[in-house]
Structure 1
Amino acid sequence: MKTILIVDDSISIRQVVGLTLRANGYEVIEACDGKDALAKLTGQKINLIISDVNMPNMDGITMLKEIKQLPAYRFTPVIMLTTEGSEQKKEEGKAAGAKAWVVKPFKPEQMLLAVQKLILA
């Protein structure tokens, strides 16, 4: 079973994304911000990370840069799922290593498609 880490300070977003993924056979780990996410990366296999950009304690782009420093997770694909649609933020995300950028509000199918593409890659 493939495991996906969802990082978002919104409980409702984590629930929607989590339900969609679990319904499609993925295992889901949830974190409420970048710091929480890093604390949960304890060496287990994570196939994909879906993260918000704007969060308290540690934002998604800072978290992404930290993850890329961890040998076990350096190549783990990351999807940014955010209300942030500006080109500048997208560029920043891409430079930090984000593989996809999904803007909220999103359709669960749209997110699932991005997930399936990246997990197969």
Structure 2
Amino acid sequence: MKNAIGISVSRYIAEYEYEVKKKEQERVEALEKARKRELQQLEEYNLHKQKLKQNIENQMKNWYKANKLRDYAEELERFIITCEDEKTKESFSTYIQLVREAAEDYDPVVDIMYRVQELEHGSK
């Protein structure tokens, strides 16, 4: 009987130790998974940041180009005020609209906002 109790106690201790080790292993795995996720988020953040920095010069050029096109459109509008021929005014009005559309196409503001938001929120 004493031997049977000893075996039961030994078995209980072994099972308890197994459960403790199993829970510790699960905890370590969860920590490792969280660390990997954080590392991946940091890598994604750095990649977005690098892409944003690499594109700054191009965005700057597009900013100035868009503003020059807007200035050009305004000058053309001042010019057509001086025109007396309605057909010329109509033609220039159409052209001015195209110039303004081109300015919007070059304007980097929307792209900048998208990329910055992607940087700030994309890795969460």
| TM-score normalised according to structure 2 size | 0.18
Higher relative contact order structure (alpha carbons within 8 Å, sequence separation ≥ 6)? 2
| TM-score normalised according to structure 1 size | 0.19
The structure with the larger Rg is 2
- Give the structure with the larger helix fraction: 2
- Give the structure with the larger strand fraction: 1
